[in-house]
Amino acid sequence: MGPHDSDQLRKLAIVPAYNEAESVGLVVRDIQRHAPGFDVLVVDDGSTDATAAAARARGATVIRHPFNLGIGGAVQSGYKYALAHDYDIAAQVDGDGQHRPSDLEPMLHELHTVGDPDMVCGSRFRGDPGYKVPLSRRIGNRIFSMMLTRIVRQKITDPTSGFRMTNRRGIELFARDYPHDYPEVEAILMLHAHRLRIHEVPVRMNARGYGSSSIGYRSSAYYMVKVLLAILVGLSRRRPVPIDDLSGDKSDTSEADAVPASPSGDEPTKRPAEG
């Protein structure tokens, strides 16, 4: 697919947000300004502030969770929405303002021109990250990077980046099965397990302007241990059959039918009809 064909595709920016009333409106505005071809969906993950109202005031579509599910649940709700509404491209953009929507168009270009990847990940560590990354984050990222590079057999420099864009194959996969605890790292394992291709592109990010990160200095060591355990569990857990395999061998449907329930408690997203 050539870059000019992307104008014909339906594109969605998924913005997970939890108590981001001060920043989410600016994020929506910047997506509309720098990537006007993208529709904007804000997933309000049980916020207790005016996050939903701020997003709607800027013209975004809003899904509200009745309580906080965590980043994985919020992002999967976005992918379920993308699948149900027939989007071809979905991008994840954090609601805290750290990701730069001006990078969405270059990421879209990469998705369609270089090696035909299924997901493009924005990496802070393929150039100038744009802000001073805390030492604890850099150490943790280096450890995860070395592990994932060995597992997936390609260089992964920023496995904890949530700034990502995927095609229809990625949307279908993540709508059916998405890690909830430490999704950025585990999602790379999922892509590898389902034989989907990953590319990284250099991006610059902003320091958080409002609020505070859920991972502080005190919890960094605990976070690293938990993510390492999640990687080990992720390597061994069973997964739904890749969609491309469903039209082939139908002899074992136990995993293919094990579609997880929607984080909001709705019925599971149905698998696309074969053929």
Domain-located, residue 256: no
The pLDDT of residue 263 is 40
Question: What are the residues facing 40 on neighbouring strands?
Answer: 13
CA geometry: angle 109, 28, 13, nearest 5 deg = 40
Domain-located, residue 271: no
Distance CA 105, CA 146 (A): 29
The DSSP result for 163-186, as a single string, is -EEE-HHHHHHHHH---SSSHHHH
> 37-73 pLDDT, tens per residue?
999 999 999 999 999 999 999 999 999 999 999 999 9
Tokens 């709508």 locate to 175
What average pLDDT does this structure show over 148-153? Answer: 90
- Tell which phi-psi region holds residue 116, choosing left (phi > 0), alpha (psi between -120 and 50) or beta: left
- Count of domains observed in the chain: 1
Domain residues for 208?
8-239
Q: pLDDT at residue 3 above 80? A: no
Question: What are the residues facing 15 on neighbouring strands?
Answer: 42
Domain containing residue 221: CATH number: 3.90.550.10
- Residues 94 and 15: beta-carbon distance below 8 Å: yes
Mean pLDDT, the chain, rounded, equals 81
Residue 257 has which token pair? Answer: 């039918």
> 231-266 pLDDT, tens per residue?
776 666 665 555 555 444 444 433 333 333 444 444
Domain-located, residue 222: yes
